[in-house]
Amino acid sequence: MNNNVKTLVNGIIKDNPIFILLLGLCPTLATTSSAINGLSMGLATMFVLIMSNIAISLLKNLIPDKVRIPAYIVIIAAFVTALEMAMNAYVPVLADALGVFLPLIAVNCILLGRAEAFAAKNKVIPSIFDGVGIGLGFAGALTILGIVRELLGTGKIFDFAIFPETFGALLFVLAPGAFIALGYLIVIFNKLQKK
């Protein structure tokens, strides 16, 4: 298998940031009360991850070693700011739903971790594949968690009624439900991966 494809697949399965590495759990638990919120947060993070990986990979030889971490954070924050401005302009309802967690993408440990561990040590094309793989893994995990929580809490998936809302357990839309659903999904993901 091509190294770029392997990097992409590893980000989705073997190095999944949520189900395997347990990184970025704060936005995971906070924004996944619905499938659309989970998918939106995942895609927003994926965009910033890909763009910051590209920029860091291109600039890695120009950034002095003493200031590399602050430089990476500034690069990531610039893309987060651009994304936040675009979302506020074109999809304000979604930006409001993600709330404070949208600008907090800038300090998500997944982005800084991938910048330091991968983009700063590789060329642009592999860094793009790494960003896409980790981004898809993160977006997929948030979407799955959002689907489970929304279905169990409201009886809907992506706001389409699957069963009557009276059968939903409000617990799953609230914070404790996020922990319960995520715990079970981590167990299921790890069991499936071992097979």
pLDDT classification of 1: cutoffs 50, 70, 90: low
Nearest Cα to Cα of residue 144 among 184, 99, 104: 184
Residue 40: inside a domain: yes
pTM of the model: 0.93
By DSSP bridging, strand 156-157 and strand 160-161 are: antiparallel
SS3 195: coil
SS3 157: strand
Cα–Cα distance measured from residue 122 to residue 16, given in angstroms and rounded to the nearest whole number: 20
Which letter does DSSP use for residue 161 in this model? E
Q: Find the domain containing 127 and state its range.
A: 3-142
Cα distance between the two ends of the chain: 20
Burial of residue 181, with CB atoms counted within 10 A of its CB: 0-12 exposed, 13-18 middle, 19 or more buried: buried
Residue 186: inside a domain: no
Residue 163: inside a domain: no
Residue 78: inside a domain: yes
CA distance readout (Å), 155 to 29, 59, 162, 168:
19, 48, 6, 5
pLDDT classification of 193: cutoffs 50, 70, 90: confident
Average pLDDT over residues 85-102: 93
Mean of pLDDT over the chain: 93
Residue 32: inside a domain: yes
pLDDT classification of 68: cutoffs 50, 70, 90: very high
SS3 24: coil
Residue 180: inside a domain: no
- For residue 35, the model assigns a pLDDT of 94
Neighbours of 187 (CB within 10 A): 11
Residue 189: inside a domain: no
Structural domain count, the chain: 1
Nearest Cα to Cα of residue 97 among 160, 40, 173, 159: 40
pLDDT classification of 2: cutoffs 50, 70, 90: confident
